[in-house]
Amino acid sequence: MAVNVSDVVVRGATGAEQRLGDFAGQVLLIVNVASRCGFTRQYAGLQKLNETYGERGLQVLGFPCNDFGAQEPGTLAEIQQFCSTTYGASFTLFDKVHAKGVKTAPYDLLTTVEPAGDVEWNFEKFLVGKDGTVLGRYKSAVEPDGAELTAAIEAALAA
């Protein structure tokens, strides 16, 4: 059965609740991010995706997560400053979440996507179509600008 995130409520950077359904009509790339991880350099690739496909309807949504090796210990303000200063990242960052164990939104639902199970590490990616349906799940080692992911993003934008 297809998993749809439209009714999922997350907490934005200001602390306000937001439904992912508010992004209807746009393709979403949901990523659990961390500032002190071997994959942290992927911030640059995520920003590039945001710049390349943003005008066509892609929204990169970053969810800081400290579940993996305590690699995201900072406050949201510190994380935003780091991302902006170090990687020029301007895509949307949300409040910190839990992606394993007792998970918080959106990961309580996303981890039911096949292959189901906890997020394994930072920078795991979920591609969501314009209608809120989860189209794919990509492990941390899948680079943001890799052919597999960019082809899936382009297909979702064209749908």
Strand partners, 43: none
Catalytic residues: 37
> Does 67 map to a domain?
yes
**Domain-located, residue 4:** no
Q: Residue 67: its pLDDT value, please?
A: 96
Q: How many domains in the chain?
A: 1
3 domain residue, yes or no: no
As a whole number of angstroms, the distance between CA 15 and CA 105 comes to 14
Using the 8-state DSSP alphabet, how is residue 62 labeled? E
Q: What are phi and psi of 133, to 5 degrees?
A: -80, 135
Mean pLDDT over each residue of the chain, to the nearest integer: 94
Given a cut of 80, is residue 10 above it in pLDDT? yes
Mean pLDDT of 32-60: 96
> Is a pLDDT exceeding 80 seen at residue 1?
no
41: domain CATH number is: 3.40.30.10
pLDDT above 70: residue 9? yes
Q: Which two tokens stand for residue 87?
A: 């990687």
Q: Which domain holds residue 129?
A: 9-158
- Rg of the chain over Cα atoms, rounded to whole angstroms, equals 14
Q: What is the pLDDT of residues 68-104, one digit of tens each?
A: 999 999 999 999 999 999 999 999 999 999 999 889 9
